[in-house]
Structures are given as structure tokens and as C-alpha cells.
Chains A and B, each alone.
Chain A
Amino acid sequence: MSAHLAREIEALKQRMLHLCAIVEENLHKAVKAIELRDAAMAEEVVRKDVEIDDIEVETEEECLKILALYQPVAKDLRFIVAILKINNDLERIGDLSVNIAKQVCHLAMATKVAFPSELWDMTDKTRAMLKGSLDSLINLDPELARQVCVADKEVDALNKQVIEQAKEKMEGATPEHLDALIRMISVARHLERIGDHATNIAEDIFYMINGEIVRHKLSKKSLPPAG
């Protein structure tokens, strides 16, 4: 590999790590804002997303530039292709964090409705999935990536439970209470989508390392669920 390409790839890696850190932090804040009904924190999440969007565009431009100028092959090619896709998933996770944060503004004003423990399990697991996928990117660890894919099933199951619980509580609920429950379902759905994006990232990392496209296959392999 030419020294130029090595430098470009290293710079891209650093930019990606920076993006990972902001996206992870923003999801953390969005979830925390829900937990604390903290509208100010939610505002912060919305503001920070502008930075995520900018980095996403810059990262894509960098990848396209490297493809055009250096025509990378083998693991360099797989790295660029994976980064292009991961970049997109991270930006979507950023948007979903904003969607979660926006619910806080309404919830903060609504009657305090107790959320089921499954929702908090879901936030923990989704955040763990995102962290796992980003750690697998940093450490190039396919096993970690595989565990993320397995964990997605658990998040999906929790999402269903949250919806069931909400349905039960809706009977005889006041309009205000109903509004809070609908927002809760919405938060759960956004978390579930974040889990899907974390899975996409894990699959792309698996491809980057092994050169095998495992989409639609990885989660079916019998492996222990992520801790």
C-alpha cells in the first residue's frame, strides 16, 4: 500500500472513531433524558445531531475520494466499503436518537407514567449492542460482531413485551396517560430500529474482516447471546 493511501485510511479511521463516540454519547443522552424527563438534555441531543450529519457527509466524501484516487483492493477495499455503510447506519442511529429525545419534550409535560422495566432493559441492551458493534470495529473482533447480531433477537422480543404492556395499560387510561403510552411505544420502536442498525454495523464489520457477506445469516448461527 502506498504511504498516501495508508495515511488516508488512518485519517478515515480516526474520523470514524470520532463519529462513533458522538453517536454513542448522543444515544446515551437521549435515553437518559427519557429516564429523567430532562427536556434540556433532549435539546442537547437535537443540537449535536447537526455535527453527526456533517461528519457523515465528510466521511462519505473521503471514502469516494479514496476509491477514485487509489482504487484500493482486498482488505483496503473491504474497509472503505464497510465504512461507507457503517457511516450511513451511524447517521441513522443519530436521527433515531433525536426522535427519542423529541418524545421527552412531550413526556416532560405529561403526567408521570411509570414505564415498564422492559423498556429500560431495552435501552440497556440497545446501547450494549451499539457499544459492542463499535468495539468490534475498533478491535476488528468478529466474535463481538456476531454477538451483536444474536442480541438483536432479544431487543426485538423486549419491544414486543413493551407494546403488550402498553396495550394492557391503555384500557381505561386518561387521554393524557394514553398520549404518554403511545410515546413510550414510539421510543421502544426507535430503540428497536437502533438495534437493527447496530446489527447492520456488526454484519459490515464481519464482511470487512472475513470478506464474507453474512447478512440474513449471522443471527441464525447458534451462538451464546451477548453478555
Chain B
Amino acid sequence: MELKMETRQLNLFYGGFQALRDVNLQIKPREITAIIGPSGCGKSTLLRCLNRMNELIRNVRTTGQILLDGRDIHDQAMELTSLRRRVGMVFQRPNPFPLSVFDNVAYGPRVHGTTDGAKLQAIVENALRATDLWNELKDRRNSPALALSPEQQQRLCISRLVAVEPEVLLMDEPCSALDPIATARVEELMRELAHSYAIVIVTHNMQQAARVSSETVFMLLGDLVEAGRTARIFENPRDKRTEEYISGRYG
């Protein structure tokens, strides 16, 4: 199977501290890959590498390759705005802009040059439908996004990504601010979206990784310890460190 994204011998340094060590990560298209590991293992750092978010931090240096459809994302020819459109990020806390629901979703397409009103209307509707928000919010499109519930805000943030037709969705603890029912809805949404996109989720919640992902990656102290099919990792992990972590014996 062709990989959607891949890192090869990826190393990352925050100044003198090495946060990732020779990481070889493989992301399959139209599947959910969960990255698990204890705090400070480098999972969020690895996620942020995939759309070059780490470059916003000072003193960060990386070596190795990150490929999107086989092309290095650090290539001169790969524009950063185009990369971030293709590889979008959902954050831990929902972060809608202080704008209306409509303007939040239309923001990306506008930045990328869509000005036609009817076209924007259609994009917004599709994006809201994709996250199952359309029926809830179609009459409140002009309401402020910040007035929505946390779950709706998070789904709106996902709609905002969907509107620019991404290829990969990166999710950093997307449900940690949500209650169990809202979490279940967002997980269901992730499964739906996985029919169209590759999804990479970083989560502290191992049950969530087991529930939603088809591939699981376990990281520890900057190393990618083990990767494989989720059912196999949770039933019969090969590495003792994975076994200890997922069964709660670590630390």
C-alpha cells in the first residue's frame, strides 16, 4: 500500500535536547493512526513535524525526511501554506476564530482565493455537513462561533479544515476538553472522515486509541518503540515497553 505520509530517520532537537530519535513513522491513506505514549515522549512533537508547526518554535532543528505522497515537505517547491492546507491540525482545545460560524468555515477557502459567494455557501454547507453540524447550525450561521458548546466548537474546527479539502488531518488530543458523550460523537466523526482522509491522532486515552484507530504507534523518550495494527498492539504487543505502558505497569 502507498503511504500517505512517512518520516525517515527523523531527529528533532529543541536546542541541545533531542526530542525525537531516528523516527520512522508510516501513515496509511484513509486510516486512523493513533500515537500513544507517556507525557514528554515526543508524540505531539512528532505530530507537529508533519505540517511543519515546529518551525514556529525557536531553536528547533530537525534532520531526516518527512514525505507527503513521496515528496519531502521541506522541498523548496513545497509551499508552507499549501502544505498546511493539505495537512491540517485540530488542537486540544477548540480554537474557533472570534467570528461567525460561517466566517470560521469560509476563512480558509477565502485565504486560498475563493471569493464567489455562492461557491462559499456551498463549501460551508458541505463542510458543516461533513461534521454533522449542518442541521444544528444552519439557522445560526451568523452566530458567533465562541457561543457554541465545546463539542460543537471542536466539530466546527474540523469543518474549518474540511473546507479547504485537506488530505491528512492531525489531531492533538482532540477530545480531552470534551465530556464522554461529546467524545463519542467526535470519535464517530473521525471514523466517518477516515473514509476520505488519513487521520493521525495523538491521545493520552489508550481506550480511545484502541476504539478509533486501525494503526497504533507507541513512543517513549523520543523513540518510536513499536507500530502495528491496533488490535495486535493491544492484544499481543511485541515490545516489553509497549506491554508495560498499555497495561499500566509503566512508571
A: residues with CB less than 8 A from B are 1-2, 5, 71-78, 211-212
Contacts and interface: CB of A to CB of B under 8 A. Distances in A.
8 contacts: A1-B248, A72-B247, A73-B206, A73-B210, A74-B236, A74-B243, A75-B243, A77-B234
A76 B247 contact: yes
A77 B248 contact: no
Q: Is the interface of B mostly helix, strand, loop or mixed?
A: helix
Interface of B: 206-207, 210, 234-237, 242-243, 246-249
B248 A5 contact: yes
Nearest to A77: B235
A71 B247 CA distance: 10
B69 to A, nearest CB: 34
Contacts of A76: 247
A74 B207 contact: no
A212 B236 CA distance: 8
Contacts of A74: 234-237, 242-243, 246-247
B207 A71 contact: yes
A124 B210 CA distance: 46
A2 B236 contact: no
Contacts of B249: 1
Contacts of A5: 248
Given A71-B207, A73-B210, A211 B236 contact: yes
A75 B207 contact: no
A54 to B, nearest CB: 31
Given A73-B206, A73-B210, A78 B248 contact: no
Contacts of A212: 236
Looking at A74, A211, A212, the one whose CB has the most chain B CB atoms below 10 A away is A74
Contacts of B236: 74, 78, 211-212
Nearest to B245: A74
A212 B238 CA distance: 12
B26 to A, nearest CB: 22
Given A71-B207, A73-B206, A73-B210, A78 B235 contact: yes
A2 B248 contact: yes
A74 B235 CA distance: 4
Nearest to A5: B248
Contacts of B210: 73
A225 B249 CA distance: 38
Contacts of B247: 1, 72-76
A62 B202 CA distance: 33
A2 B242 CA distance: 16
A5 B246 CA distance: 13
A73 B237 CA distance: 10
A100 B97 CA distance: 77
B180 to A, nearest CB: 14
